Amino acid sequence: MRARDKKRRHELADSEICHRCPDDGWPDERKVTCIPKTYTFLSYEEDIVIIFIITSLFLSAVTIIILGIFIYHWDSPIVRANNRTASFTLLVSILLSFLCIFLFLGRPVDITCMLRQTIFGIFFSISVSSVLSKTLTVCIAFKATKPGSTWRKLIGVKTSTYVLGICSSLQVLICVSWMSVSPPYQEFDMTSYMDQILIQCNEGSDIWFYSMLGYMGFLAALSFVLAFMVRTLPDSYNEAKYITFSMLVFCSVWIAMIPAYLSTRGKYMVAMEIFAILGSTAGLLGCIFLPKCFIIIIKPGTNVKRNN
């Protein structure tokens, strides 16, 4: 039997007729037989995935601790300043954004392909909308201090709630339309690599996908511009400085990610998006909330009404 196989391989090697390997195979070095391709995706067994999981869980724990601190100091001036409702909404959406990366890990299937981009887009839009509502609160509060200002009518929770609700609802509408018209699905890419089959998500409609990302970028840019304009306000409203820096970090991470994202394929593309999600969300958490926690814990004597 072995002699017969060796003879057949010798005949194939000397043959002038080439037979094309099937899509799920590739030729060996001697181009005699076809070797099955390996399936590739962002597996839980990879070191980078373990790093992503540890980072996500750590940042989620930090977010929960900060949320607990804010709940415990619910009525303190620094928690009440600059829209307390938006602050809690932002913390919850940041927590969910950290956890949504688990939809990107493991072997993709149709349901995870449909959920991961929409869930990520909605949670991120809620986060950026919360930042936008906090920025508008700063602007309105400063303008309302002028005598006879009509901005006094806009002071209150309702204005920020309307901004948060409308901006988030538009992103939900974009995602629902995307899922209705051309939802993402599982795809087997057999042509990008000779010896691998990439199991990945096809986003369905690129127009809707980039519309979701573009709308999120628009909200981030708007928040950055407004916060930059009011960054020099008095110390009572100095959260605008933190918002400006947080949105600068947020936008920088995503702008830097775009060329890397477009130049990679398969699991490396997914890894780049996860890195951008964790990095930009951590920027929001650190720049906006850590300075407040520092005052609450380290300098509680300054957390009084006369200083805020």
Q: Has residue 5 been placed in a domain? A: no
Domain harbouring 266, CATH code: 1.20.1070.10
* Pairwise pLDDT comparison (24 vs 125), residue with the higher score: 125
Range of the domain at 264: 38-307
Compute the distance between CA of residue 255 and CA of residue 243 in angstroms, rounded to an integer: 18
Domain count, the chain: 1
For residue 300, pLDDT beyond 80: no
Q: Has residue 47 been placed in a domain? A: yes
Confidence of residue 141 (pLDDT cuts 50, 70, 90): low
pLDDT tens profile 196-219 = 778 888 888 888 888 988 898 888
Q: Has residue 219 been placed in a domain? A: yes
Q: Has residue 25 been placed in a domain? A: no
Q: What percent of the chain has pLDDT over 70?
A: 76
Q: Has residue 33 been placed in a domain? A: no
pLDDT tens profile 189-201 = 777 776 677 888 8
C-alpha torsion angle, residues 37, 41, 43, 48 (rounded to 10): 120
**Residues 107 and 202 sit within 8 Å (Cβ to Cβ):** no
Percent helix, percent strand, percent coil in the chain, to nearest 5: 70, 5, 25
Q: Has residue 106 been placed in a domain? A: yes
pLDDT at 12: 46
Q: Has residue 152 been placed in a domain? A: yes
pLDDT tens profile 26-84 = 566 666 667 677 778 888 888 889 999 999 999 999 999 999 988 888 877 777 776 77
Q: Has residue 19 been placed in a domain? A: no
pLDDT at 149: 56
User: If you average pLDDT over every residue of the chain, what do you get?
Assistant: 79
